Amino acid sequence: MNDIGLYLSTASLYAVRVQGDKVVSFNNYPLITDLGASEEDEGVKLEVLLNKVARELNITKEDNLYLAVEDKYLIFRSFIAPHMNKAEIESTIVFEIEKYIPFKIENLIWNYSCKKLPREKKLVISFVGIKKTTFDKLYQPFAKLGLNLSLVESSGLVLLRLVRSLSACSKLGWFALLDLTSEECYLNFFYHTLPVFSRTIFSSKREALSGYNLSAGLETLDTDKFVDEINFSFHYFYREFRPYHLEKMVILLDEDNSDLIASLKKGLDIEKIFIGPQEILNVQDLKLEPFKAYGSAVCDSFPNKFTPFLENTSTCFLGSVKRQSKLFNLPLLGGIIIFGIFVLFFLNVTLQRRIEVKEEFLEKKKAGVNLPKELKQESLEKIKSILAEKGNKIKTINKKAESLTNIASIFEKLPLLITKGLWLENLEIKSQGNGNLAMQISGYVYLNNSAEEGNSLDEFIANMNGAEEIKGVLPTIDLLSKDRQKFKGYATTYFQIKLY
C-alpha cells in the first residue's frame, strides 16, 4: 500500500508517490483544457486522465490518494467573537456562513475550528467550505474508477503545514502566505493554523480577466500592479481585523527572480521570509506544483493540521473540529460497573444450564436423523463441514450459470462504447476456475496520430468503467498491452484488455 499525493492545477495534474518518508517518483500529466467545456465534459476528461495515471503508476484500490486543489475551489472565512460554548459557536457560525455565501447553506459542505486569543475573552472562529457540486465534480471521477480517495483539501492548507514545519515559521501568529508560480498566485492569511481568508491574485484561466500577461513566465509580471494588489489585501485585513497586526509574510517561490524579489522587498512594508521548496524537501529544481502534491501525500507527517476528511461517498468535511473530552461521574460509573458484574454472573449461571439442556436435545435429535452410512459415525462438526463443502460447490455452479446469463448484457452494450478510430479484432471468454468469468479483448486504433489513438483508447476504457452492464459482471479492467503495429500497411495502435 502506497500514499500518492495529487495536485490539480488549472493546467496539469501532478502526482507524487511516497513510501514511508521516501519520495519514489514525481509525475506531471497535462490537462486537455477547453474554456468552453461544460462541467460534465471536464469531469469526463478528468476521469480519462485519472485512468491513465492509475495505469502508468500501477495504482491499486489499496493505495491511499490525497488530492490538493487550487484555493479558488474553496471558501475561507473567519471572524472574531466573544468566548462562547460549542452550541453557541455552531449557531453563530451558521448565521455567518448564510450571510457570506450567495447560495443556500444546504448546498455547502463545510467545517470549522476555533482558537482562543491570548489575554482576551475572545475567539477566532474559522470555517472552510466547498460547494457540493464542485466537490462531486472532483470526487466522482475517482469513485467511478474505484480509487481510494482519502482526502480533498486546499493547496493553501497543504503549504501551511509544510511551512510551519520550519523553525522560522513554527510560532507565527497572524501572518500571510504568498504562493507564487508562473501559472497561479494565491495570498492566504492565517492565525496560527486557522485560515482567515484567501485571495486569488491570478491563475491560468484568469490571466486575461486580471490583466496579467505571463506568456514568458514571471519575467513579464507587472511588479508594480502585483505589489499594489498585495497591499490592497493588507489594507482589507487591517480594516476587518483591527487592532491585530501581521507579524510576517512568508513568500514561496520556485524561481530565483532577483527583480521580483527586490520589488517585493521594496514595495511591501512588512517583515518577509523567502522560502523555496528545496528548503523543506531536498529535490533538485523542485517546482511548487509537485511540492503541493508531496505535501498532500504526507499530510499525517507534519504538525498543525487543519485538513478535510471524507465522511462518506457524498460528503466532505473540511477541517478538523477539536473534540472536547467529557468528565465522567465516577461514583455513578462505579455503581454501574458493580451492577454489571452481578448481571454477568447471573447470566453466566443461567445460560450454562440452558446450553447443557440444548446439547442433550441435539444428541437425541441426531440419533433420530436418517443419515447415510458413511456419515452416521462422523461427529456433528464433520457433518457440518461436508455439507458446507457441498453447499459451496452448488454456489459456484449457480454463480457460473448467473455469469453466463449476465454476459449477454455486455455483448449488447459493448458496441455502443466504441470510440473514434477503434475496432475490435478478437473477444474471448474464459472461466477462472472459481465460478467467475474473464473476458479478453484485442483490437486496433487508427487515427493517423499515436497520441490521438492513445486518447481514444483511454476513452474506450473509461466508457467500459462507467457502464453498469459491464461493471456489474466484470468490475476490474486491466490494459495488458499497447504497442504500435502495422495493419494492412498502416501504422496503428494494437491493444489487449482483460476484464474480470
Contact 125, 112 (CB under 8 A): yes
Q: Are strands 75-82 and 122-131 parallel, antiparallel or unpaired?
A: antiparallel
At 39 the pLDDT is 58
At 96 the pLDDT is 85
| Top-level class of domain 406-499 | alpha beta
Phi/psi of residue 361, nearest 5 degrees: -65, -45
| β-bridge partners, 312 | 315
Q: Coil, strand, or helix at residue 74? A: coil
Residue 1 CB neighbour total at 10 angstroms: 9
- Listed residue (32, 26, 25, 30) closest to 13, CA to CA: 30
147 DSSP assignment: -
- Fold (CATH) for 3-317: Nucleotidyltransferase; domain 5 (3.30.420)
Per-residue pLDDT tens digits of the chain, which is 500 residues long: 788 999 998 888 999 998 876 888 899 999 865 544 555 666 678 889 999 999 999 998 889 899 999 988 888 889 999 999 888 888 888 888 888 888 888 888 888 888 899 888 899 998 888 899 989 888 899 999 999 998 888 899 999 989 998 989 989 999 999 998 878 889 999 999 899 999 988 876 444 335 565 555 676 788 888 899 999 999 999 999 988 999 999 999 877 778 889 999 999 999 999 999 989 988 888 899 999 999 988 876 544 444 433 333 333 334 332 323 333 455 666 777 887 887 787 777 777 767 777 777 777 766 666 666 666 667 777 777 888 888 887 777 776 666 666 777 888 888 899 999 999 999 888 877 666 778 899 999 999 888 889 889 989 998 998 888 888 888 889 989 999 999 888 899 999 999 98
Task: Quote the strand ranges of 83-234, DSSP E.
Answer: 108-116, 122-131, 149-154, 174-180, 185-191, 194-202
Taking CA atoms, 457 is separated from 204, 420, 477, 500, in Å, by 29, 9, 13, 19
Contact 496, 441 (CB under 8 A): yes
At 310 the pLDDT is 34
Taking CA atoms, 21 is separated from 308, 376, 447, in Å, by 22, 61, 44
DSSP annotation string for 210-276: HT---TTGGGG--HHHHHHHHHHHHHHHHHHSTT----EEEEEESS--HHHHHHHHHH--S-EEEE-
Instruction: Copy the grid coordinates of residue 499.
Output: 476484464
Write out the H or E segment, with its range, that includes residue 453.
helix 450-466
Is the four-CA dihedral 160, 165, 169, 172 of positive or negative sign? positive
Backbone conformation region of residue 122, classed left if phi is above 0, alpha if psi is from -120 to 50, else beta: beta
At 411 the pLDDT is 83
For the chain, give every domain's residue range: 3-317, 326-362, 406-499
CA–chain centroid gap for 178, Å, is 24
Q: Coil, strand, or helix at residue 184? A: coil
Q: Report the Cα–Cα distance between both ends of the chain, in Å, rounded.
A: 22
CA–chain centroid gap for 301, Å, is 17
DSSP annotation string for 368-389: HS---HHHHTS-HHHHHHHHHH
State how far the Cα of 440 lies from the Cα of 477, in Å rounded to an integer: 10
Q: What is the 3-state secondary structure (H, E, C) of 199-215?
A: EEEECHHHHHHHCCCCC
